[in-house]
Structure 1
Amino acid sequence: MCGRYAMTWTVGDLVAELEAEADANLELRASYNVAPTTDVPIVLERLVDGEPHRQVHVAQWGLVPRWAKDASVGVRAFNARTETVLDKPTFRSAVKARRCAVPVEGYYEWKKLPDGKGKQPYFVHSQDGSLTTFAGLYEWWKDPAKADGAEDQWLLSCTILTMPAPPDGELATLHDRLPVPMDADTMDAWLDPAAGEAATLVALVLSRAYGVAEGWILDPVSAAVGNVRNDGPELIEPIEPIV
């Protein structure tokens, strides 16, 4: 699964790295401890005058489907399992037409200690510190309690897809789920609003995900990351693991 991650890049850096565009007034909050229900950057493509435009937006992490009566649904929908994403009512509409990428510097996962009484958090990231993009979905939800035309009437939200962890290797010892990473070519296909069948796209990202994750670094880090009030570069600093 993916329940916490780090993302401190600026709008300008994201736009340059992902060859995207962004509103001049877009603001991103840098955080070493991003948690569900907070605002996060996402990358999506929209057709403008028939041409695809790749854009950076800010969305609430926790997907709120269009049919939801209130936004609280998003609390339980910050991850979407690839095994059920095509059929589950919360996600099946978005996976067909509203796919996005969620950029991260790395994510946190907790590993059970041998004594079974505690957990050691790890920061999982690329070897060279490059950006990782996870396959995601987004939705626009209209708040029925807001007046038409209100600035906050529409909520943009997102979720991160997860898959079974690799059958072997270090990631297999960490958790039984893995957020689905994409390489550049996979992301191009995933974001394409004119792409083909959703099932084919899900199969594509799954087929390449383990290769993207191969070579990731797993650094043991402080348990301070477990408290959302803690947020600083010290959270990703490697420490000696608890044994």
Structure 2
Amino acid sequence: MCGRYVMARAAGDLVALGGGLLPAEGVELRPNWNVAPTADVPILLEREDAGVVRRELHVARWGLVPAWAKELSVGSRAFNARSETVTSKPTFRSAVRARRCAVPVEGYYEWKAPEAGSKGPDGKAAVKQPFYVHPAGGGDGEGPVIWFAGLYEWWKDAEAEARGDDPWVLSTTILTMPSPADEEPGVLGELADLHDRLPVPLSPTAMDSWLSPDKLGSADEAAALVDETTGQAYDVARGWVLRPVGREVGNVRNNGPELIAPPAEVQDALV
């Protein structure tokens, strides 16, 4: 799954990396080293206007709120979408056919459960260890980013409309899939050992297909695109790196570049 991640890039950097444009109203992004569900996050999407397709960067609320939802809080339970059910689950099935996006992240956090009965350096029962997963050559504000397959929706807030405020809320979710098998070599095996779910990364070619603004005609067509997208994910993930980080990432109030630094005591314990 993906429940926390890092995004500290400027909007212009993401546009350059993703091959898009900034919308006319602009985009303001604040560096965030501990992005949690319901936070505002950048997404890349494509829109067609008068026969011209534009790839644009926007800001969305993390946690998909379908158009039929009665309240915004629905999104807090829909920050990930399982690839196996995304074409049939009411929350996601409309978006996967017509409103697909890419969610850029510098890296994401995942917690590894200790082996049963294992002990920590203090002799006490071992606890979960957080890891930072990021692309090789990136993850620290420079180099490549990961583009996760995502979905987006527009939701109309009736209360905001009654107050005379802008009622439209743009929201997003990240697609996940089963992790690689344990016996996979290299980083894929490490990812399998880390968690049983994997956020779905996009290669440049897969991102072109995923972002197409064409509305798919059926659930079967959507399922075929999902299968095509998950089918290339492990190849992208082979270019990732895992490193242990401090437990401070578990508290969303902690937010700074020090969160992605590997603590010396953790490194020593893992040698």
- 1:147 maps to which residue? 161
Q: Which runs of 5+ in 1 are unaligned?
A: none
Q: Is the 8 A contact 2:97 2:215 kept in 1?
A: no
The CA RMSD measured in Å over matched residues stands at 1.5
Q: Distance in 2 between matches of 1:194 and 1:64?
A: 21
Which of the numbers 109, 125, 135 marks the counterpart of 2:134?
125
Greater helix share, structure number: 2
Q: Distance in 2 between matches of 1:119 and 1:137?
A: 30
Which of the pair has more CA radius of gyration? 2
Q: Is the 8 A contact 1:189 1:195 kept in 2?
A: no
Offset from partner CA, 1:125-179 (integer Å, 9 cap, x none): 1111111000000000001222269443000000000000000311110000000
Offset from partner CA, 1:158-209 (integer Å, 9 cap, x none): 0000000000311110000000000000000000012652112101111100
What TM-score, normalized to structure 2?
0.86
Output aligned runs, 1:33-182, within 5 Å: 33-114=34-115, 115=118, 117-129=126-138, 130-147=144-161, 150-168=164-182, 169-182=189-202
Q: Distance in 1 between matches of 2:103 and 2:88?
A: 22
- 2:239 maps to which residue? 215
Greater strand share, structure number: 1
Q: Distance in 2 between matches of 1:65 and 1:15?
A: 26
Q: Is the 8 A contact 2:132 2:242 kept in 1?
A: yes
Offset from partner CA, 1:66-114 (integer Å, 9 cap, x none): 0000101001000000010000000000000000000000000000123
What TM-score, normalized to structure 1?
0.96
**Amino acid paired to 1:142:** K
- 1:9 maps to which residue? 9
**Amino acid paired to 1:122:** F
Report SS of the residue matched to 1:55: strand
Aligned residues: 243
**Amino acid paired to 2:52:** E
Report SS of the residue matched to 2:231: helix
Matched, 1:225 2:249: yes
- 1:238 maps to which residue? 262
Matched, 1:187 2:188: no
**Amino acid paired to 1:191:** L
Q: Which runs of 5+ in 2 are unaligned?
A: 119-124, 139-143, 183-188
- 2:226 maps to which residue? 202
**Amino acid paired to 1:132:** I
Output aligned runs, 1:20-35, within 5 Å: 20-23=20-23, 24-35=25-36
Q: Distance in 1 between matches of 2:192 and 2:108?
A: 15
Segment drifting more, 39-48 vs 116-125: 116-125
Runs of 4+ in 1 over 6 A off after TM superposition: none
**Amino acid paired to 1:126:** P
Q: Is the 8 A contact 1:39 1:61 kept in 2?
A: yes
Report SS of the residue matched to 2:93: coil
Report SS of the residue matched to 1:96: helix
